[in-house]
């Protein structure tokens, strides 16, 4: 069942609209969309390994721009969207503690969570909500998102064929692992953080 979808994705990844689509998803994921850009980044780099660094740069830039929108949601729309998110994640009783922790550890929160499967939109919205310094937020976002996307692109550029063969031979397993990691990211935010 997954094979036709995989083949279709790989054909699209080699097309001329693949890189702009990756940018759109990367932008949206940093502010509101639930699916990480890695889902598109991997096939696009596999289909265009000679452009791996350009693709990683594009993904980083659009992710940071989307993060700025997420920051604005947290900073400017707290009374509507922000309040709902705080209640959804069960933080309404921990608001002052959260702001204090973010003021003290905000840089580490941004750097570490930007590399993990924890949804980055939560980091961007929380940064705006907590009033974290915008310039530092952007700098740290460039570092953490760039590190993640350039690492993925670099590995795919160097080891692309073995990785592609592994994915194609174990497509169901790779899909299952990805879904588990994605769900775990949301679970960690909901119950651990």
Q: State yes or no: pLDDT of 63 exceeds 60.
A: yes
- What does the pLDDT read at residue 111? 85
* Look-up of token digits 């299952």: 176
- What integer is the mean pLDDT of 21-33? 89
- What does the pLDDT read at residue 188? 62
Structure-token pair, residue 80? 């509507």
Q: State yes or no: pLDDT of 118 exceeds 80.
A: no
Q: Look at the alpha carbons of 165, 169, 172, 174 in this order and tell me if their dihedral is positive or negative.
A: negative
- Alpha carbons within 13 A on the beta-carbon side of 72: 8
Q: What angle do CA 83, 34, 181 make, to 5 degrees?
A: 115
- What does the pLDDT read at residue 90? 63
Report helix angle 2-13 to 38-47, nearest 10.
Answer: 60
Decide if 119 contacts 28 (C-beta within 8 A). Answer: no
- What integer is the mean pLDDT of 81-98? 68
> pLDDT tier at 54 (50, 70, 90 boundaries)?
very high
Residue spans of beta strands (DSSP E) within the chain: none
- What does the pLDDT read at residue 164? 73
Decide if 27 contacts 63 (C-beta within 8 A). Answer: yes
Helix-strand-coil split of the chain, %, nearest 5: 85, 0, 15
Structure-token pair, residue 158? 């160097």
- What integer is the mean pLDDT of 23-44? 87
Q: State yes or no: pLDDT of 131 exceeds 70.
A: yes
């Amino acid at each position: 069942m997954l094979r036709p979808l995989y083949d279709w994705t790989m054909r699209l990844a080699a097309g001329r609209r693949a890189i702009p689509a990756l940018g759109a998803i990367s932008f949206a994921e940093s502010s509101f969309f639930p699916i990480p850009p890695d889902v598109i980044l991997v096939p696009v780099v596999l289909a265009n390994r000679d452009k791996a660094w350009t693709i990683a740069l594009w993904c980083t830039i659009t992710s940071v721009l989307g993060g700025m929108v997420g920051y604005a949601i947290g900073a400017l729309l707290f009374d509507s969207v922000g309040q709902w998110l705080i209640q959804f994640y069960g933080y309404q009783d921990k608001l002052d503690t959260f702001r204090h922790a973010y003021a003290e550890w905000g840089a580490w929160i941004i750097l570490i969570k930007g590399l993990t499967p924890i949804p980055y939109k939560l980091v961007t919205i929380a940064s705006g909500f907590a009033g974290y310094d915008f310039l530092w937020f952007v700098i740290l976002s460039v570092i953490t998102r760039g590190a993640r996307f350039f690492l993925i692109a670099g590995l795919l550029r160097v080891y692309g064929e073995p990785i592609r063969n592994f994915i194609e031979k174990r497509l169901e397993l790779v899909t299952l692992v990805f879904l588990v990691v994605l769900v775990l990211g949301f679970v960690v935010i909901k119950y651990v953080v």
